[in-house]
């Protein structure tokens, strides 16, 4: 899609969005609530007509094409199942709409149910199913007519964490098996990182960055993305004649300086090391005072004040050794960050 804008009164739900989805890829729209994700999906599906812009499937302009002619399957934020129909009735609905013969409907419904691991559930009523099963019925209904494109709007948000984790893997496997181009919506950054080939981070109706999970996390294009994905602390960077510095510490970098005039250093809590032997050669060292240490079982979280007064958070692995030597509040410590983990980004707010 190119130059797509959709306004509701004064709200720019979509603000000049251009986006290219590759055939067969799993692309996720990730953003906070109200950022425009559902609107973007509805434009792709054809339920929402944008104010302007173009939408092409391959070489074909489809912006005026009604939803049922776009050859796409969709699951909605609410499951939107028909409660009075059986599971088979729900899943077969798109086929009956397309006037597929009865015997073939039955065969393809069973096949779709098998795919989502609900084989034999056809006669059940929707209200006899758990949340996870309903979700799978919604997926079966979206894939039963083998659409070119599958659109899913926060399909797992109503499920508890364990089931959500499991369904993430299942949906990913389903994508690998069927090879359908998939556009998936979530506000959950971990879900996006787990499932996607690429992620488009959306904010205020605009795409902030489109990249692989790894590039987004390692090299966010701006402060919004760095803040939204993962945890980070930002420290002001000062320029010097011989390079850049943070808190009076000249930085050793592994990459050339970004072009932006004002820079901040992005620090991920898990990329900091607590040095037991003071400053390390070849790394960036910060003297700090521990203010709080929280033991969390699989890891510990340490808050510290840097010499200049800035707060910083670090996360460390808990091992038999580290657990018995965690610093206490008030201890003087040295925090070490490798040059590869010293990431500078544009300080400008977006």
User: Does 47 interact with ligand ADP (rule: CB under 6 A)?
Assistant: no
Buried b (16+ CB within 10 A) or exposed e, 130-141: eebbbbbbbbbb
What are the tokens at 69?
């002619």
Partnered with residue 240 across adjacent β-strands are 243
Q: Which is nearer to ligand ADP, 72 or 112 (CB)?
A: 72
What are the tokens at 261?
């005039």
Q: Which is nearer to Mg ion, 38 or 232 (CB)?
A: 38
User: Does 38 interact with Mg ion (rule: CB under 5 A)?
Assistant: yes
Q: What are phi and psi of 36, to 5 degrees?
A: 115, 10
User: Does 189 interact with ligand ADP (rule: CB under 6 A)?
Assistant: no
Q: How far is the CB of 47 from ligand ADP (least distance, A)?
A: 10
Determine if residue 71 is left, alpha or beta; phi over 0 gives left, psi from -120 to 50 gives alpha, anything else beta: left
Q: Residues 30, 190: contact at Cβ < 8 Å? A: no
Given 8, 101, 242, 261, the residue binding ligand ADP (CB under 6 A): 8
What are the tokens at 334?
């040295």
Strands 233-236 and 198-203: what pairing?
Answer: unpaired
Q: Residues 200, 53: contact at Cβ < 8 Å? A: no
The whole-angstrom separation of Cα 111 and Cα 6 is 38
Q: How far is the CB of 194 from ligand ADP (least distance, A)?
A: 19
Given 37, 70, 164, 175, the residue binding ligand ADP (CB under 6 A): 37
Binding span for Mg ion by CB under 5 A among 30-38, 49-57, 169-177, 225-233:
30-38
User: Does 347 interact with ligand ADP (rule: CB under 6 A)?
Assistant: no
- Residue with tokens 């240490």, as numbered in its chain: 293
Q: Which is nearer to ligand ADP, 35 or 133 (CB)?
A: 35
266: enclosing H helix or E strand: strand 263-267
Helix, strand, coil in percent for the chain, rounding step 5: 30, 35, 40
Partnered with residue 206 across adjacent β-strands are 203
Q: Which is nearer to ligand ADP, 105 or 229 (CB)?
A: 229
Binding span for Mg ion by CB under 5 A among 32-40, 52-60, 122-130, 132-140:
32-40
User: Does 201 interact with ligand ADP (rule: CB under 6 A)?
Assistant: no
User: Does 38 interact with ligand ADP (rule: CB under 6 A)?
Assistant: yes
User: Does 39 interact with ligand ADP (rule: CB under 6 A)?
Assistant: yes
Q: Which is nearer to Mg ion, 228 or 300 (CB)?
A: 228
With CB under 5 to 8 Å by kind, the binding choice for 33 among Mg ion, ligand ADP, none is ligand ADP
Q: Using CB under 5 A as the criterion, which residues of the chain lie in contact with Mg ion when the complex forms?
A: 38
Which residues here bind ligand ADP, judged by CB under 6 A? 8, 11, 13, 31, 33-39
């Amino acid at each position: 899609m190119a130059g797509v804008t959709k306004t509701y009164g004064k709200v720019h739900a979509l603000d000049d969005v251009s986006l290219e989805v590759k055939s067969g890829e799993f692309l996720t729209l990730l953003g906070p609530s109200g950022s425009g994700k559902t609107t973007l999906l509805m434009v792709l599906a054809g339920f929402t007509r944008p104010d302007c812009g173009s939408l092409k499937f391959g070489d074909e302009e489809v912006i005026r094409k009604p939803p049922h002619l776009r050859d796409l399957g969709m699951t909605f934020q609410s499951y939107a199942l028909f409660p009075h129909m059986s599971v088979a009735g729900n899943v077969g609905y798109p086929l009956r709409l397309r006037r597929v013969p009865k015997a073939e409907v039955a065969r393809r419904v069973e096949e779709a149910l098998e795919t989502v691991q609900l084989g034999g559930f056809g006669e059940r009523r929707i209200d006899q199913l758990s949340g996870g099963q309903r979700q799978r019925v919604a997926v079966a209904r979206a894939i039963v007519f083998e659409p070119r494109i599958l659109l899913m709007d926060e399909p797992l948000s109503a499920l508890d964490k364990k089931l959500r984790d499991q369904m993430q893997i299942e949906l990913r496997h389903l994508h690998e098996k069927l090879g359908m181009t998939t556009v998936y919506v979530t506000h959950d950054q971990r879900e996006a990182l787990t499932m996607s080939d690429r992620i488009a981070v959306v904010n205020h109706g605009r795409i902030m960055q489109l990249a692989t999970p790894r590039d987004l996390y390692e090299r966010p294009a701006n402060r919004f993305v760095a803040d939204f994905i993962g945890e980070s602390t930002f420290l002001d960077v000062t320029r010097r004649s011989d390079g850049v510095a943070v808190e009076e510490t000249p930085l050793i970098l592994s990459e050339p300086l970004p072009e932006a005039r004002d820079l901040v250093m992005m620090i991920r809590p898990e990329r900091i090391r607590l040095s037991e032997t003071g400053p390390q050669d070849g790394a960036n060292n910060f003297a700090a005072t521990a203010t709080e240490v929280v033991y969390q079982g699989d890891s510990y979280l340490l808050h510290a004040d840097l010499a200049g007064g800035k707060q910083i958070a670090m996360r460390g692995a808990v091992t038999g050794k580290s657990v018995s030597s965690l610093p206490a509040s008030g201890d003087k410590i040295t925090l070490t960050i490798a040059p590869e983990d010293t990431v500078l980004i544009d300080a400008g707010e977006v």
